[in-house]
Amino acid sequence: MENNMNQTQRDPFAARKDGDMRQLMTSLQELQEIVNGAQMIWGTGRCMVDKKVLSDHIDLIARLLPDAVKQASAIVREEQNIRENAKRDAAEQTAAARGAAQKTIDEAAREAEKLRSDSKKAAEDAARANANALNAANAMKAQAESDAASIRQKGQNAANALYAQAQQEANALIARAQQEAQMIRAEAENAARAAVSDENVYRMAVMQANELREETEKEMSAMRQHYVGALCNMMGEVDEYLLSLVSSIRAERQELINKR
């Protein structure tokens, strides 16, 4: 209602135009009623009407028709303007919506590309870290195996040296014992020759020789046990060190695997 009042204020002739349109429609309706109510001429399909009344309505319609046509043209133009404005607004809104959608799509594409790049870089970093950890574990394993082999070889060399030294000392002890036994036997034989009748001297010499032989055998047995015990202790220490080294390597390798 307020819009109609404003439109009337803007167009002083709007009320008159509306009145003319209503009068035109009324005249057309009355003309239709006159025609419909006219008396029919039998057998001709025609009717009789009042010429003056019909002429007055036709004159009124002719007089009002240009304004109605102008008003209708204005309405059509207004409708066209509204449609064009609506189309223009719709096109602008569509373009704005398409621009916003394209901007959103571009931003999403850039974000997705950044995520793909970051994920690829993270995967490459993880692969390099895994490779470095595996190389470090393999290097530690190789170094541990080398150290273990070196320690084992040193232990074997030390054991061989101890065994050779023990064998050498045992041979020297045996040789010395044999030499002393021969000297005692020679002295006993000399004493026996000097006093053949003295049987006690001979028996004493034989007894001393037997005692010397037994003592020599005991010393050799004790020496063997000593060196064998030393070798066993040394090999046990080597085995314990190797086991400790292997356990440490396994723990470090497991720690590297867990970090991956």
Task: Kindly list the averaged pLDDT for each block of 10 residues, start to end, along the chain of length 260.
Answer: 44 58 84 84 82 86 72 76 86 86 87 87 82 80 80 78 76 76 73 59 72 78 74 75 76 73
Q: Which residues contact 224 (CB under 8 A, 6 or more apart)?
A: 166, 170
Residue 14's pLDDT is what?
53
Residue for token pair 């002295």: 187
Q: Are 241 and 151 in contact, with CB atoms under 8 Å apart?
A: yes
If one counts every other C-beta atom within 10 angstroms of the C-beta of residue 169, the result is 13
Q: Rounded to whole angstroms, how far apart are CA atoms 138 and 247?
A: 15
Residue 10's pLDDT is what?
45
Q: Rounded to whole angstroms, how far apart are CA atoms 69 and 180?
A: 161
Helices (H) and strands (E) in the chain, counts: 4, 2
Residue 5's pLDDT is what?
42
Domain map (residue ranges) of the chain = 2-118, 139-259
Q: Which residues contact 216 (CB under 8 A, 6 or more apart)?
A: 173, 174, 177, 181
